Every structure is written in structure tokens, then in C-alpha cells.
Chains A and B, each alone.
Chain A
Amino acid sequence: MMNVQKKKLTKKIYINLFFKSLFFTATSFSLVILAVLLYRIFTQGWEHLSLDFLTNFASRKPEEAGIKAAIFGTLWIMAITAPVSIILGVGCAIYLEMYAKQNAFTRFIQTNISNLAGVPSIVFGLLGLTVFVRVLEMGRSVLAGGLTMALLILPIIVVAAQEALRSVPRELMEASYGMGASKWQTIQKVVLPAALPSIITGCILALSRAIGETAPLLVIGALSFVAFVPESIWSGFTVLPIQIYNWTSRPQAEFHDIAAAGIIVLLVILFIMNSIAVLIRNKFSKRY
């Protein structure tokens, strides 16, 4: 009798151990994948990284090709996307958290935002193609691309800013009201400064998402062979991910190598942005 129970218990313990290691292996698998991915890309692209690569334009010869146009294109797009999406996103968040009444309309906006976050990015491209490129006649320009990207990351910024605003304790606001401050004075001088680190972190993360995004700009009609730097918001453009896509889709292996070099540049930019975001979050965010 005792023996049977003991056997059962040992079996249970072994099953537990087995699954524990199984779960751990599965979890570490993603670590391995990440390592392989980074290793592959760095070994493949490292040799092609040079100052020339950063300052040359795209070329038919792989050894002369560079990403100058793509880098400037990305900067131009961000110069439009960042202000538009941050102003609209943070504004929307302040409205929802501070002013909106708890009614059906507010709930509708809220549901709408979470649904927008789930719309595939390529559909935003179709929206941009019709509304910005055709109807508003912006053409396949930096402006059309930047605005499309702004709409794409708008829901992310709204949600992040809302969470940041929500974490500001009510007592702070009530103290401010008690001192005779108006609602906007309270928001401007008390709530926003307290929520700012988290808002900035959220915005940087959203922008880094936009920098890596390819599909909507492909649909808008970003050019894939560009040998110029955009001169105004009406210029045609290319961006880093599109340049990488262009090189990846060619059959020659040399172009795959410079695509890898482009990916290294892209990943380094994203890594720097994410580090800044984490730094701001850890350094400046207060806990109440």
C-alpha cells in the first residue's frame, strides 16, 4: 500500500521535473533564435559597413551602394510623423482621461482606438494611398508617407499616454485645485510634468515602431531606387526598411550582404532609441 503511494508520488515529481525542463527549453528557444538571428546578420553585413556605405546613394553595383537617401528619407518621414502623432495622440489621451464624461461616446472612442491598434499596417497604407496621395493630391511624397505613419502609430501613443496620465495620483490634482488652479492649469503644471517621463517613453517606442515599418510606405509608393535626398515635404523618398527590402528581393547574394549591413544600421538606430526610452523610464519616472 505504502509502496504504491510512493511510486505514484515519485512519478508525479518526475512528470513535474520533465515539464519544467520542457517549458524552460521552449522559453530558451526564443533566446537561441534571437542569438542566431543577430549572429547571422552581423557576420553577413559587418564587412560592408563603412563610412562610404552611410554616405553613398543606392547603386546598381553592390560595392558602391549606400544608404544615404534611405537615412535622410527616414529622418524626413520622422520629422512629420513625430510632431503630428505626438500632438494628436497626447491630446486625445488628455481629453479621454481628464475631460471626457463617462458616456457611450467616450466608450465608443476607446473601443475605436483599441480596434485601430489591431488593423494591419498595410491597410493604413491603402488609406494613405487613397486619402493623402489621391484625394488630397499630395502625391507619393514625404508628407503623405509621414501622415500615414502618424495615423498608424496614433493608437499606440494614445494608449501609452493614457496609462501615464492614469498613474498620476488624484491627490496631486486635488491639491492643485485646492490652491485655486483651474483645470487646464492643473493639467499643464501638475499632471503633465508628472506623467511626462512615461509619455516620452511611450512616444519613443511608438516612433521606433514607425521607423521599422515597411508595408504602408510600400503601398503609398515610396520609391525603391532613389539617388537623391528629399528637399521638401513634396519630394519622393525612400526609407531604410524599403531600401533593405529592395536589396533582399534581388537574387544576387552580394545584395543580400549589403541588405544585412542596412539591417545592422536599422537595428542600431532602434537599439539606441529603445535604450533612451528605458533610460528615461528608469531615471525619471516617480512612484507615488
Chain B
Amino acid sequence: MVSKLIEEKKRKQKTFIAIREKTIPFLLSICAIVSIFTTLGIVFTLLFETVTFFSRVPFIEFITSKEWTPFFKSDPSFGILPLISGTLLVAVTAMFVAIPLGLSAAIYLSEYAGEKTRKVIKPILEVLAGIPTIVYGFFALTFVTPVLQKIIPDLSFFNALSPGIVVGIMITPMIASLSEDAMNAVPNSIREGALALGSTRFEVAVKVVLPAALSGIVASFVLAISRAIGETMIVTIAGGSTPTLTLDVTQSIQTMTAYIVQVSLGDATYGSTIYYSIYAVGMTLFIFTLIMNLIAQYISRKFREAY
């Protein structure tokens, strides 16, 4: 009798385990599929709302008109070019700051620094990378802009230069750490070979390690540009809200991200053309960053030197 009960219990346990072994992978695969639905959600959201936008504003006007004046009561103009120029102006300024700083840090950390220095500098770079962008925005507006105004008296209060510099500081750790990873992947035997032939550390870094790690370094630049293009709070706070097609970094501009924030803050009525315009701008932004990310992946996969 007792043995029968035990038998029964064991059988039940076995079926329970068998069922569990079947259902759990299924549940887990649902978790994985959520990530695909997120991407689909993004693409379809942007696509549907953008299509509505283009049913009201001609696509040709969107990509060729040089004026972005959505808030004009009569005859508003929706030309994305000023927003793109503003975005690129900030991104390029940022790269002028981030490439020299980030690459120097990477070379120093991988070719010169000892273990002790690395242990100090690496966490500092991590802290810099972890500071919220709103804090950088505050820093740009209340410190960098006033300082720059002392150097360049013509600088307007909102400008592309100050957020550009601060975005550059923000993405420096990213370039530094990704480039350093690429340089660390270069085997030591190559370095030692060059050193044994009488090269200095600098020659080793520039003539041996940099060329060998080039694909990873370039990929890190592209990823950093993509980050700079998608950056929102710094440019919203310090960049201004006057979309102008200009290459002058001292003037107030507007980036794509800043425009989306501006509309979101000022209750655009649901269904208005302005409401749909943020999706068209978001779509443009999404395409820009997606292309950048794909290029970065392609570069690091295609041109990787294998040792």
C-alpha cells in the first residue's frame, strides 16, 4: 500500500518534471521574442506615423526645403535639412573633441601606462561614461557656455559649440575603452618584435599597433558618432531651438532630438501635423543611427585582423 503511494508520487513528480522541461524553454523563448517585437514596434510605429505625415507634407518638401518652421500659423514649412545640419554640426564638433582625447587615452592606457595607472584611470573613465546626460547638459549651459563666451565674445547663449564640446567629453570614454580593447587584442609578440628592432614605444604605437587595430578603432569612432547624433538632453538644454541651415557653431541651432523634445513639451494636439512631424524626424534619426551602427559592425567584422 505504502509502496504504491510512493510509486504514485514518483510518477506524478516525473510527469511534473517532464511538463516543466517542455514549458520553460517555451516561456523563455517568449522573453527572447519580446526583443524582436520591440524592434518591430519601433519600425512600425515610426513607419505608420511617418506615412500619415507624408500624406500631409510632400516627401520632396521634407528632404529639399531649407526651412523648418512647423509652428508658423500660415504656411508652415517642413524641411528636415536645418535639423540635420544642426545635428551634424554638434556631432562633428563632438568628434573633434572626442577623437583626440579618446584615442590618446587608449594609446596611453594600452601602450604606456603601468598596471597602477590603469587602475586609477579606467574607473574614472567609467564614472564619466555613467554620468547622466542631463548632468552634462546642466554643465554645458551653466559652465562651458559662460567660459566660452569669455573667449569668443560673439557666442550666443544657445549655440552648437558648447553642447558639441560636452557631447565630445561624454563620448570620449566610449572611444577610449573600445579602441583600447582593439589595441589590446594586438598580440604582444608583434610589439616586442618592433621594440627589439630598436623602435621607440611611440613608433610601436603609431606604426605597428594602430594599423593592426585600425578596424576596431574606426568602428569605435562610428559608434561614437551614432551616439552623438542620438544624444538628446545636452543639445536640448544648451543648443537652442532655432533650426537654421548653417555651419556656424557660434549660433543657436536645433537638432533632431531637441525638436522632438520641444514638441513633446508643448502639448502638440494629437493628430496635428506637428504631432506627426516628430515621427518623421524620429524616423530620420533612427535611419541615421541604424546605418552608423551597421557600418560599425561591418567594419569590425570585415576588416578584423586575425592573429
User: Interface size on A (CB < 8 Å)?
Assistant: 86
**Contact of B35 with A116 in the complex, beta carbons under 8 Å:** yes
Per-residue A-contact encoding for B84-125, CB less than 8 Å = 1, 0 else: 000000000000000011001101110010000000010011
Considering residues B131, B229, B279, which has the most beta carbons from chain A within 10 angstroms of its beta carbon? B131
| A residues 248-263 touching B (CB-CB < 8 Å) | 248-249, 256, 259-260, 263
A109: B residues at CB distance < 8 A:
32-33, 35-36
A120-B35 in contact given A30-B124, A127-B45 (Cβ < 8 Å):
no
**Contact of B132 with A214 in the complex, beta carbons under 8 Å:** yes
Is B160 part of the binding interface, using a Cβ–Cβ cutoff of 8 Å? Answer: no
Of chain A, the residue at the smallest CB distance from B143 is A40
Is B260 part of the binding interface, using a Cβ–Cβ cutoff of 8 Å? Answer: yes
Is A213 part of the binding interface, using a Cβ–Cβ cutoff of 8 Å? Answer: yes
**Which one, B21, B34, B132, B202, contacts A15 given CB within 8 A?**
B202
A155: B residues at CB distance < 8 A:
35
Q: Which of B65-73, B183-191, B284-292 contacts A (4 or more CB under 8 A)?
A: B284-292
Q: How far is the CA of A123 from the CA of B109 in the complex (A)?
A: 35
B33: A residues at CB distance < 8 A:
109
A267: B residues at CB distance < 8 A:
131, 135
B131: A residues at CB distance < 8 A:
37, 212, 267
Q: Which of B210-218, B230-238, B246-254 contacts A (4 or more CB under 8 A)?
A: B230-238
**Contact of A34 with B128 in the complex, beta carbons under 8 Å:** yes
**Contact of B289 with A118 in the complex, beta carbons under 8 Å:** yes
| Chain B interface residue bracket vs A | 35 or more
A92-B132 in contact given A26-B105, A123-B286 (Cβ < 8 Å):
no
A270: B residues at CB distance < 8 A:
130, 132
B137: A residues at CB distance < 8 A:
245, 248
**Contact of A212 with B121 in the complex, beta carbons under 8 Å:** no
Closest-CB distance, A131 to chain B (whole angstroms): 6
Having A36-B143, A123-B282, one finds 19 other A-B pairs with CB under 8 Å, namely A24-B108, A29-B101, A30-B105, A34-B124, A37-B131, A37-B139, A91-B32, A92-B32, A94-B28, A109-B36, A115-B293, A118-B293, A121-B232, A127-B41, A215-B236, A219-B278, A244-B135, A244-B138, A260-B142
Which residues of B are at the interface with A, using a C-beta cutoff of 8 A?
A: 17, 20-21, 24-25, 27-36, 38-39, 41-42, 45-46, 49, 100-101, 104-105, 107-109, 112, 121, 124-125, 127-128, 130-135, 137-139, 141-143, 169, 172-173, 176, 200-203, 223, 226, 229-233, 236-237, 257, 260-261, 264-265, 270, 278-279, 282, 285-286, 289-290, 292-294, 297
Which residues of A are at the interface with B, using a C-beta cutoff of 8 A?
A: 12-13, 15-16, 19-20, 22-24, 26-27, 29-31, 33-34, 36-37, 40-41, 44, 87-92, 94-96, 99-100, 108-109, 112-116, 118-127, 129-131, 134, 151, 154-155, 158, 182-185, 205, 208-209, 211-215, 218-219, 221, 224, 241, 244-245, 248-249, 256, 259-260, 263, 266-267, 270, 274
